[in-house]
Amino acid sequence: MTLTSITNAANAYTDENFEASKVIFFVNEAISKINSELKCELPIFEDVETDYTALATKWVISLFIPYACYSIKMNDGSLNEADRYLVTFSENLLKLVDNKYSAINEDYREDDFDEIYQRDLSNGIDFSLFGRTNTNEDEGFE
């Protein structure tokens, strides 16, 4: 998928008319965020007509287009709309993290690509469901 195609889709979603020469900065920022999160080196866009082959089209569509939409809406001050696109990008980035071994070619992986991601879910656990009110006590286990 080319940057021109990504720009056309983003313009259709946002009802705007941005040039691909401006959207290239938005999409390259998305690629940078992906590289930082996944410890990889996906190439950035250098021009608007080159087909992006570092990721499968499904990832390009689900990540680059929402991020371009987010950036476009931030640029025109539509913060509520921008937030919706950022949420979509963030959700899809988490899916990419979960599928990184099949999605990211070994040629683009950094040395610490295999780092294990840990998610702290303890704040979302309601311990009262287990008959415990104090999470610091282990009643009956001495």
Condensed to tens digits (0 to 9), the pLDDT of residues 101-135 reads 999 999 999 988 887 555 566 666 666 666 655 55
pTM of the model: 0.79
Listed by start position, the domains of the chain span 3-114
Q: How does pLDDT run across 53-111, given as a tens digit for each residue? A: 999 999 999 999 999 999 999 998 889 999 999 999 999 999 999 999 999 999 999 98
* HSE-up of residue 35 (Cα within 13 Å, Cβ side): 13
> Which amino acid, one-letter code, is at 38?
L
